[in-house]
């Protein structure tokens, strides 16, 4: 072969190899490094059983993938194509095709962080979830009264109030009302252990009674260190057959409002009104956290307190008393503190004397 021909052949082969290398590199870069001009964060909803080409086109339309054909070919070669999970995903600029496919295979779907505070009612949870997840309030609330669901979880209560455990959750963005309710219930039954059940039986209480008392404690306490002492007050009053006279139960009877209790409120005709009905109300008035549950099961020992009143000194603490006269003195102190601080006095305390008769100003500031 002539040198000229050989040289021409070498040049042509070299050019061909160089072109192949360029093509391979062009295809490989987005697979392993992502598209340099990627989109801003984009959400992609992958339906159950969606074919690969449909997913690729959705990613292209959102600006996440610039070369859907390369994306599809790599997915097939890497055997990702039949492992894509349904759900809503969020992708950010510059994610490699390999990373995108790994996330689709792992089901790394978009999750919404939702914190449910201690003492939140079912109605408040419903409003919170509608804002965060778009779940209709009415649909969620209806499930909290679903008798089939209540029986399924062996709950001896008319509704799920008290059993939707307050915590921080990460819900899939497309969660249904039932999925959310069941997640909250499962979290409760993780927190409520057999030891809690044993302690409840030792106190002669059912689980629902413990949660009911815990929900009242949750509604009263501002300083967590007082939880067990507030619990002791209510245990003492129950033992002495005194009215509990817990303001949070009256507010619950009034529809879950958040304000001071007035004298006229005490006449509300409801089994939840503990100013009129002896013993615990029919069920929890909110969803208590673990601290309040533990307090209900473990009241402070060695105290004979029957009363407490908010100190109104800016600390959130209460003044506890054994006798009704001591309680009246504590109230006068609290009212003086409120005047000095130019605030309205708080009232979140049992008011009745040991006979159960209400003082004349039982709901006054």
In a structure prediction context, what are the per-residue pLDDT tens digits for the chain, which is 365 residues long?
Answer: 555 544 444 434 444 444 433 344 344 444 444 455 555 788 889 998 899 999 999 998 888 888 899 999 999 988 887 889 999 999 987 788 999 999 999 998 999 999 999 999 999 999 999 999 999 999 999 999 999 999 999 998 889 999 999 999 999 998 999 999 999 999 999 999 999 999 999 999 999 999 999 999 999 999 999 999 999 999 999 999 999 999 999 999 998 887 788 888 898 999 999 999 999 999 999 999 999 999 999 999 999 999 998 888 888 899 999 999 989 988 888 788 777 766 665 544 445 444 343 433 332 22
Handedness of CA 94, 97, 101, 104 (dihedral sign): positive
Angle, to 10 degrees, between the axis of helix 227-239 and the axis of helix 207-220? 120
Q: Is residue 269 helix, strand or coil?
A: coil
Strand partners, 91: 42
Indicate the pairing of strand 87-91 with strand 42-46.
Answer: antiparallel
**Contact at 8 Å (CB) between 170 and 187?**
no
Q: Is 179 exposed, middle or buried (0-12, 13-18, 19+ CB in 10 A)?
A: middle
Instruction: Choose among 298, 292, 307, 286: nearest CA to 350.
Output: 307
Tell me the CATH class for 24-106. alpha beta
Q: What does the alpha-carbon distance between residue 237 and residue 260 come to, in Å, rounded to a whole number?
A: 23
Q: Is 315 exposed, middle or buried (0-12, 13-18, 19+ CB in 10 A)?
A: exposed
Enumerate the domain spans of the chain: 24-106, 111-191, 194-341
Q: How far is CA 104 from the centre of its chain?
A: 27
| C-alpha to C-alpha distances, 200 to 118, 207, 229, 280, 294, nearest whole angstrom | 21, 7, 18, 15, 10
- 335-336-341-343 Cα dihedral, nearest 10 degrees: 20
**Contact at 8 Å (CB) between 170 and 112?**
yes
| C-alpha to C-alpha distances, 166 to 29, 53, 218, 288, 329, nearest whole angstrom | 46, 42, 12, 7, 37
């Amino acid at each position: 072969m002539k040198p000229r021909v050989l040289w021409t052949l070498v040049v042509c082969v070299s050019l061909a190899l160089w072109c192949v290398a360029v093509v391979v590199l062009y295809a490989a870069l987005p697979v392993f490094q992502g598209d340099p001009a990627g989109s801003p964060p984009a959400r992609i909803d992958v339906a159950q059983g969606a074919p690969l080409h449909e997913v690729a086109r959705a990613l292209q339309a959102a600006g996440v993938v610039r070369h859907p054909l390369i994306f599809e070919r790599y997915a097939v070669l890497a055997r990702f194509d039949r492992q894509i999970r349904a759900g809503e995903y969020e992708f950010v600029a510059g994610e490699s095709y390999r990373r995108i496919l790994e996330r689709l295979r792992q089901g790394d779907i978009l999750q919404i962080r939702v914190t449910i505070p201690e003492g939140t009612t079912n109605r408040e949870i419903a409003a919170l979830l509608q804002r965060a997840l778009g779940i209709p309030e009415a649909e969620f609330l209806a499930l909290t009264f679903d008798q089939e669901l209540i029986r399924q979880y062996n709950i001896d209560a008319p509704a799920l109030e008290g059993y939707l455990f307050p915590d921080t959750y990460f819900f899939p963005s497309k969660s249904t009302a039932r999925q959310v309710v069941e997640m909250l219930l499962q979290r409760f039954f993780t927190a409520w252990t057999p030891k809690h059940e044993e302690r409840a039986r030792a106190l002669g209480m059912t689980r629902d009674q413990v949660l009911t008392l815990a929900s009242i404690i949750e509604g009263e306490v501002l300083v967590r260190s007082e939880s067990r002492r507030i619990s002791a007050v209510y245990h003492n009053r129950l033992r002495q057959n005194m009215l509990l006279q817990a303001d949070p139960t009256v507010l619950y009877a009034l529809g879950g409002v958040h304000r001071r209790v007035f004298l006229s409120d005490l006449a509300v005709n409801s089994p939840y009104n503990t100013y009129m009905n002896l013993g615990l109300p029919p069920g929890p008035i909110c969803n208590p956290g673990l601290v309040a549950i533990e307090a209900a099961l473990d009241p402070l020992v060695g105290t004979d307190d029957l009363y407490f009143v908010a100190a109104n000194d800016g600390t959130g603490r209460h003044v506890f008393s054994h006798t009704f006269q001591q309680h009246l003195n504590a109230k006068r102190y609290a009212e003086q503190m409120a005047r000095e601080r130019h605030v309205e006095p708080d009232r979140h305390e049992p008011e009745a004397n040991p006979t159960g008769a209400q003082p004349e100003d039982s709901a006054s500031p």
